[in-house]
Every structure is written in C-alpha cells, then in structure tokens.
Amino acid sequence: MPYLTLRDGAELFYKDWGNPDGAIVTFSHGWPLSSDNWESQMMYLGDHGYRVIAHDRRGHGRSSQTWNGNNMDNFVDDLEELFAHLKVKDAVMVGHSHGGGEVTRYLGKHGTGRFKKAVLIGAVPPLMLKTDINTKGTEKSVFDSFREAIMKDRAQFFLDVPSGPFFGFNRPGAQKSEGQIRNWWRQGMNTSCKSAYDSIKDFSETDFTEDLKKIDIPVLVLHGDDDQVVPIEASGLKSAELLPQGKLKIYKGGSHAIHNINVDEVNKDLLDFIKS
C-alpha cells in the first residue's frame, strides 16, 4: 500500500487509482472517516478514464496516528506534500464535510495553481459554529456533547451517528442500510481517538470565509436540504454566495451523505461538472 513520509515523519496513506495518464480528480473525506468513503465515486470516475487520488487524513484510517497537529493548516500542508509527490496539476479537487473544509483551506492557503475546478459536498464552510455574526450556526453545546460522547463511549457514539442523522436513516420511510452503518463505524473506529476528538474543534470552529473569497476557479456546491449534520442554511447556501465562481445544486430531501445515498446522481453531477 502506498505511503508518503511527511515532513515530521508521519506517514500518509493514499490511493492512486484509475488511468495513470488520465485527468486527475482528488478526494478529501469527512470526519471521522477515510478514503474508503469515496469508493463509489472513485470507481465510477476511474472507469471513465480518470486518475483518482484519495488520502487518509493524518490520524485517520491507515495514516499515522499523530498526537499533535490535528488541525486544518497542518492537514492542508500534508496535502500539498502529497500533491507535489504525485505531480498533481490541472486537477479537480472534491471534498465532503470536514474534507470540504480541507479543500477550501487548501485552495485559500496554497492557491489554485494545481487545480482548475473544485466540488464541495455537504461541506462545513464557511463556519459551523453559531456566533453573534453567524446566527444560523450550530450551538457550541452540540459539539461539546460530541466530545463528551467520544470520551464516554466512542464505539456506541460511532454507531449512533450513522444509524441516525449522518445518512438520514432516522427519517420516516428511510431505507436503512446496516452495511452503511457498519462501514461508517469501521472507518470511524480506525481513526485515532485523539484525532477524532481534536477534529471536532477543527471542523466546527474553523472560519473558512476568507478562503472561499480567494478561490478563483469554478466550484460546484452540492448540498442536501435535509442535512442534519451540516445544515444547508449555515453552509452550502452561504458558501455558494461567497465563492467568486460558485454554483449550487440542492438535493431535495438529501442527507449529509448524498454521495453515499444518492450515488448515481452525485456521480453524474461530478462527471458533468468535470467535463464541462
């Protein structure tokens, strides 16, 4: 399995699939998951001739479980090292949830030189936390309850999240998938407890407003209007307005995990946007 040794000695696991000579699409996963969460999209685009690259964020999946450095600026510096190693250029960058924040901060900090387009799916920007200015955000007490649940019984918490709000399986008439729940739990439990804990502050309190304003390439924003984890009013709608070349598509009734639930539609939207 391919690993890149980073500047501090940590090892970053990555997948490099598809056509080695094809146009590149990169994927950044959500919390507390891994590159495995992108399998449907990577298989689909790989079959359409693209080179698809995804990593396990440090502390997640098969990457090193570092004690320190579980923060957005460090995460995107890891990405820049990976992209330089793999000679990524003229690519499309895709991110979900926390990974959408990673995409946004990467482009804001390292620029758009390697990328021609980006896609944010159920992404956390511009800011999840409720403040005096960000009145539609989520109360800090909610994120405090996440931290408390991790310390009390992480294994149960990581069953409760996918069984309910993440996939929308708590909605009346939802087609519940035990496989999706177990796969989420597997990925979550492979993430270090320390990184999972630290990342709650990272995805909830990082303000991406200025990063969004800097992004000078087309960005497609895909968001479900029934996203119970990252409500669209505080995220997708605002991001589309702040992006200089933002385009928003709302998935009616869509959950936080539209790329896992509305697979065919998301895959088609990605392909159409990449080819346009």
Length of the chain: 276
Q: Which of 78, 198, 211, 227 is catalytic?
A: 227
Question: Which residue in 182, 174, 203 sits closest to 261, CA to CA?
Answer: 174
Q: Which of 223, 256, 259, 269 is catalytic?
A: 256
Q: Which helix (H) or strand (E) holds 116?
A: strand 115-121
Q: DSSP assignment, residue 249?
A: E
Which helix (DSSP H) or strand (DSSP E) does residue 14 occupy? strand 11-18
CA–CA distance, 212 with 202 (Å, rounded to integer): 17
Does residue 256 have an active-site annotation? yes
Please pick, among 97, 192, 195, 199, the residue that the annotation labels catalytic. Answer: 97
> The tokens 């957005």 sit on which residue?
72
Give the C-alpha separation, 74 to 77, whole Å: 5
153 has catalytic annotation: no
Q: ∠ at Cα 37 (52, 167), nearest 5°?
A: 140
**268, 44 in Cβ contact below 8 A?**
no
Helix (H, G, I), strand (E, B) or coil at 244: coil
Q: What is the DSSP letter of 157?
A: H
Active site residue 97: yes
Residues carrying an active site annotation: 97, 227, 256
